[in-house]
Amino acid sequence: MSDIPDVFDGDVLGLFAARIEAQFGLEMSELTQAVHAAPQAHPGATQAVHWYGLLSQAQQVLETAEDTLVAALDTAVGDQLDDPVMELAHRVNHAVAARDGRAITLRFLLQAPAETARIQQRFGPRVTTTLPTPVPAQPARIRGGVR
C-alpha cells in the first residue's frame, strides 16, 4: 500500500480518505451514511469509518495545540522558554503521538483485507473449524436391569 507513507507528513486525513474511498468505492460522506444506516453490513467499512473519525479528532487536537504553541512562541521574550511554553510543546508532542497511533491503526485496518487475500492466495483458504457437538447424556444402564 504505497499510497500511505510510513511517516505522516502533509494532509494525513486526505491520504486516508482517498485510500478508504478507493477501497470501498464510495465517497467518505456516502460511506459514513451507509455505515451509520447499517453498521453490521460491512464490519471493515464500519471500522474504517470509526477510526477515520478518531483520526480526524486527533488531527484537530494537534492543530489546536500547534496553534496555541506558535502563539506562545510569538509572545515569548528572550531565548529561554518558560515552563508554560514547554508544557505547550509537550502537548503538541502528545497530540502527534495520538494522531500517529490512530493513523497506524487505520493503516493496519486498511491493509488487513489485502494481507488476508495475499496469504490465502499463497497458502489457500483458511481452514474453518467448529466446536464438537456435545453428545446427549445417556442414562447409565445397570447390569441386571433397572432398579
pLDDT (tens digit per residue) in 93-142: 999 999 999 999 999 999 876 666 666 667 666 556 665 566 565 555 55
CA distances from 96 to 11, 20, 53, 85 (A): 14, 22, 16, 17
Residue 80 counted as domain residue = yes
Distance in angstroms (rounded) separating the CA atoms of residues 53 and 109: 14
Confidence of residue 5 (pLDDT cuts 50, 70, 90): very low
Residue 131 counted as domain residue = no
Residue 145 counted as domain residue = no
Residue 46 counted as domain residue = yes
Count of the separate structural domains present in the chain: 1
Report whether 28 contacts 141 (CB < 8 A). Answer: no
Using the predicted structure, report yes or no on whether residue 2 has a pLDDT greater than 60.
no
Using the predicted structure, report yes or no on whether residue 65 has a pLDDT greater than 70.
yes
Residue 42 counted as domain residue = yes
Residue 137 counted as domain residue = no
Residue 97 counted as domain residue = yes
Distance in angstroms (rounded) separating the CA atoms of residues 23 and 51: 15
Range of the domain at 34: 13-123
Q: Which of 40-54, 56-70, 96-110, 112-126 has the lowest mean pLDDT?
A: 112-126
Distance in angstroms (rounded) separating the CA atoms of residues 115 and 129: 21
Using the predicted structure, report yes or no on whether residue 4 has a pLDDT greater than 60.
no
Residue 142 counted as domain residue = no
Using the predicted structure, report yes or no on whether residue 8 has a pLDDT greater than 80.
no
Q: What is the pLDDT of residue 76?
A: 83
Which three cell numbers mark 119?
A: 496469504
Say what the pTM is.
0.70
